[in-house]
Structure 1
Amino acid sequence: MRFHGTLYRALNPIYAREPMSGRGAEIYGGRFNRKGVPALYLSLSVMTALREANQVGSLQPTTLVSYEAHIEHVFDTRDGAALKSEGMNPSTLADPTWRDQMKATGEAKTQTFARRLAMAGYHGLLVKSFAPGAGEDDFNLVLWTWSDTPPSRLTLIDDENRLSR
């Protein structure tokens, strides 16, 4: 599928000056990227982005940014047949033990799935949010490939250059 639209990300202020880097995910690993692999975890709504960034405890200081996205090759996890053809299912996507798997084997099942998709030419995947409080309509777009040019164009919306100040 293609994704064209606005995406949101709630950043730890430590990374606010690098909103295009994917560095945090690269350092720590994420549900859909192993350590050492940069990824951008973006949300389709502001509230989903805030939930994703503040999953533990009270709301912490957060920098909210938005992007205009034109991503051509996105795997849509809502397509059950496509998901099954890739050897994946919704319960494995949602499995909260992915961090334990990563520690035990070096790569969680969801990270292996994502690595295979990236090798097959997908720039990212559309997936339900698993953050506490997320509803059935809360989705994220996880990108492994992005740039300022097609076919995976992602543009930070900062017309007033606020992040450079």
Structure 2
Amino acid sequence: MRYEGKLYRALNPIYAREPLSGRGAELHGGRFNPKGVPALYCSLSVMTALREATQVGNLQPTTLVCYDAEIERVFDSREEAALADEAMDAAALGDATWRDQMKASGEARTQSFARRLIAAGYHGLMIRSFAPAASLDDLNLVLWKWGDAAPCRLTLIDDESRLSR
């Protein structure tokens, strides 16, 4: 699928001056990116971004950013047949033990899934939010490739250059 529209992220202020880096995910790994692979975990709504930021406790200091996006190759995980073709299912995507899997074997099943999608040329993954109180309408877009031009254009909205001050 193709995604065009706004995306939102609730950033740890440590990374606020580099909202396009993907460095935190690269250093620590995420549910859908192994360590060493940069990723931007974005949400399709502000409220979903805030839910994502409070998954493991109280809301901590956060920098909320917005992007304009045009991403050509997005794997839509809501398509059950496409998931089955990749030997995945909804339960495996939402498995809360992904961190334990990563510690035990070096890479969680969802990270291996992401690695296969990246190798197949996907720029990102459309995935429902697994944050507490999220509904099926709360969606995230995990990006593995982005830049300032097609086919995976991502532009930070910062008209007043607030993040560079």
Is TM-score (shorter-chain normalized) higher than 0.5? yes
Secondary structure at the counterpart of residue 41 of structure 2: strand
List alignment gaps of at least 5 residues for structure 2: none
1:50-81 residue CA offsets vs partner (Å, 9 max, x unmatched): 11112122111110000000000000001111
Gaps of 5+ in 1: none
* C-alpha separation in 2, matches of 1:92 and 1:140: 17
Match of 2:39 in 1: 39
Where does 1:18-97 land on structure 2 (aligned, <5 Å)?
Answer: 18-97=18-97
Displacement, 1:135? 0.9
Q: Percentage identity across aligned positions?
A: 73
Rounded Cα–Cα distance in structure 2 between residues aligned with 1:8 and 1:95:
24
SS of 1:26 mapped into structure 2: helix
SS at match of 1:68: strand
Question: Given residue 35 of structure 1, which amino acid in structure 2 is its aligned partner?
Answer: K
Give the letter aligned to residue 129 of structure 2.
S
Match of 1:143 in 2: 143
In the aligned structure 2, how far is the partner of 1:29 from the partner of 1:133? 24
TM-score normalised by L of structure 2: 0.99
C-alpha separation in 1, matches of 2:101 and 2:78: 24
Structure 1 length-normalised TM: 0.99
Please name the residue that 1:131 is paired with. Answer: 131
Q: How does 1:149-164 map to 2 (within 5 A)?
A: 149-164=149-164
Count residues in correspondence: 165
Q: CA RMSD in A?
A: 0.6
What are the equivalent positions in structure 2 for 1:81-120 lying under 5 Å apart? 81-120=81-120
